[in-house]
Structure 1
């Protein structure tokens, strides 16, 4: 624990997606573990759905409920991206932007030392500056993805990127990247998100939110490490002109306990019955649900454990329906689970060798924390950039797909799974994944990154009399 006189009060404001809130929560626990206070701001239902901090940290982490204003076209009760179809997310951003006054009022009344904010509330840096509070633009992206977005002039309407094709630049690197790289979107990936990147119904593009938020903050933090991507961190430092802090990979610090008695015991028995290093774990997070037809798992003839989401949200009417007899045919060597599963426990089991994933970075971190080989099947957001970084590092194998529409033949999935699992020439992917285990799972490495950030916080916080006098940075 830090000495009392060194303790900080840090506010956190993540975007309303669980893929964002969970890394923020993980960092909050690391910081609280050093004796500092956290105020975690989020919509009320999201706070109720987040895992509770461990008892020893709970007194230091306060949850602040920020009710979302009503916005036309935003369904009542929708407070996270997982509550909405993709085309309704811009209205969630509109509601989020209307929280500027409540956030300012909280900051003024609570007098924190620092605030860490996500890409969406790009307006926080200016509010914090006005109130004499230090600010951090904390992106949950890795350095390659953040670097690919480019400097501020690109986001403010430069002539560099106007069409989806402009984001699919491989084999030519962006102008600001001084080395060759494969990191870029595939055409079908950028087509899905082009409206959000360039500007949607919220009125503000995602790239502008990223760069405007970074322009107005004191420092930039991101979910990255020098052990994985030193050259991209160098690009960011040259590009930003202000301190850039990697804060490590933030592997989950607590074991999952939900469903311990109900689901884990039967799952464990199923995995125990499989040989070591033979099972493919299949999961695509909370917002994607490919069908068996797309995946072709059965054709691989490999044992698999599929955490299947048949419905993404309550309003989702396009349910995944398994082919007749599928579950009966795979029963005995594979398992399909349609309810919540303890992903960390599954990935930690010795029988699991591969993870067929959508390349969302939290899932990547969890898998590589246990040295599991990655098979990549992307869907949305930054997943395409993550996949290219992993492919470039030979850590993950991308399933071959149609570049125009992203379609995939069932045999492509089966062949990819078998290639990485059993073929000698692709042993490199298995070995590289094992090499990543200390980088992604070592608590000592993670602690050093957190300590580095907190040391900067303590050395550069404003003294209280400056803040109360309203002196800006």
Structure 2
């Protein structure tokens, strides 16, 4: 008999990237608001860098710090993808895999109902099963992305549907409806390390397949009303329950005013700009453009004559030897019309400002949700991972326009940047993007629907416990 009257204890074990940690914490907060207990497991430094919880949630969410094991070629104190250059992330995965034993000890010593894990720990489902704990793969990647990547057998290399990179540029056989959702060839060239073995010993694709194969249910960030056909694909290819948790809009954390001085000067500048005149430019914590791309983006912003606020991350952590630089004289030539910020910036606050009229983005889904939340049309410039697939979805739904690129190498020109910004923000031809972003807002920001998803998830979790 199900223990519906009892409060659940859920352990959450996200991957060591803030694009994963934050959506996991958002879901943890929604569950904690219902009175259930969360143990949020990560490394000490990552937990210290997370936004502060509001007092009403602090008693329900316990942070569990597991020190990251030392691994050759991984710098000391590097605990998140944002700390290291892209080619060092494979060693972070190796260290993360070494958390299997300490996580197991924590699970053994705690009364746990469910383990929620991310797409990297291919071993987590097996650990949970051996301990008699139910497990959920919580995907922060969208249903179209996961649906396109396919069933576990394909991901783990057991079904040779995709033997070459070109196999990722066409619609796979398990998708029966017309769609443009597929990688472009240059995107797969940039993602080629995901399908091959790396120094962690396990390819990303194999990891994805194993986490899906070994879990009891799949929990996914998404909304059935926004993408119903993709949820059906997931049900078909996974052959296990797939439960949506909504888009998880970012509600500002209590204690966010720690950086009030930084925000104040930004707000002062934005306050002086005309309504809808500023393009906000930011590419998240993972994507780092090349030096040539930065040069073309800068020259494009200059050519566009548009006001801009650019959050430019010049290096991935202190061990990144390639520090990005702006074109000579760029800041002087655009002085008064634009800001380049190379430190932390409060994205949600910037996007909510009336002066911002468009968002040049990498297509990371958290950024997309924040843009929709604030009705800002999207100019898309994908770089890696799932961003290209996200961009196809946004193009299909007329929520964003992709900057034209060379199909062979993905290179961009300043003209393409300038024209894309003006199209989406100013020209009549881009009115569809400005209007569509407002039309879809209710699918992302409807609190009643969000509550319903969480209630249904918790009902399922309570009804399907191992030790009832």
TM-score class, shorter-chain normalisation, is: over 0.9
| 2:190 corresponding residue in structure 1 | 192
What are the Cα deviations for residues 116-161 of structure 1, in whole angstroms up to 9, with x where unaligned? 0001112111111111111101111100000011112212322211
| 1:245 corresponding residue in structure 2 | 243
| 1:163 corresponding residue in structure 2 | 164
| 2:397 corresponding residue in structure 1 | 393
Q: Distance in 2 between matches of 1:323 and 1:71?
A: 38
Is 1:447 the counterpart of 2:451 in the alignment? Answer: yes
| 1:215 corresponding residue in structure 2 | 213
* Per-residue deviation, 1:30: 0.7
Decide whether the 8 Å contact of 1:183 with 1:389 is kept in 2.
Answer: yes
Is 1:254 the counterpart of 2:256 in the alignment? Answer: no
Task: For 1:359-378, list aligned pairs within 5 A.
Answer: 359-378=363-382
1:340 maps to which of 329, 339, 344: 344
* Per-residue deviation, 1:260: 4.0
| 1:467 corresponding residue in structure 2 | none
Is 1:278 the counterpart of 2:271 in the alignment? Answer: no
Task: For 1:273-352, list aligned pairs within 5 A.
Answer: 273-290=272-289, 292-295=294-297, 296-352=300-356
Q: Distance in 2 between matches of 1:11 and 1:67?
A: 17
Q: Distance in 2 between matches of 1:32 and 1:154?
A: 36
* Per-residue deviation, 1:99: 1.6
Is 1:457 the counterpart of 2:450 in the alignment? Answer: no
Q: Distance in 1 between matches of 2:90 and 2:380?
A: 27
Instruction: Give the 3-state SS of the residue equivalent to 1:75 in structure 2.
Output: coil
Task: For 1:37-186, list aligned pairs within 5 A.
Answer: 37-157=37-157, 158-169=159-170, 173-186=171-184
Q: Distance in 2 between matches of 1:310 and 1:203?
A: 30
| 1:263 corresponding residue in structure 2 | 262
Instruction: Give the 3-state SS of the residue equivalent to 1:104 in structure 2.
Output: helix
Number of corresponding residues: 459
Decide whether the 8 Å contact of 2:10 with 2:112 is kept in 1.
Answer: yes
1:27–1:370 distance in 2 versus 1, CA, 3 Å: same
- TM-score under structure 2 normalisation? 0.95
Give unpaired runs (5+ residues) of structure 1: 465-473
* Per-residue deviation, 1:393: 1.2
Moved more, 446-455 or 255-264: 255-264
Give unpaired runs (5+ residues) of structure 2: none
* Per-residue deviation, 1:422: 1.5
What are the Cα deviations for residues 412-441 of structure 1, in whole angstroms up to 9, with x where unaligned? 000000011122122111111111222222
**Cα RMSD over matched residues?**
1.7
Q: Distance in 1 between matches of 2:275 and 2:444?
A: 22
Moved more, 367-376 or 185-194: 185-194
Q: Distance in 2 between matches of 1:199 and 1:289?
A: 23
Q: Distance in 1 between matches of 2:67 and 2:447?
A: 35
* Per-residue deviation, 1:33: 0.8
Q: Distance in 2 between matches of 1:429 and 1:364?
A: 13
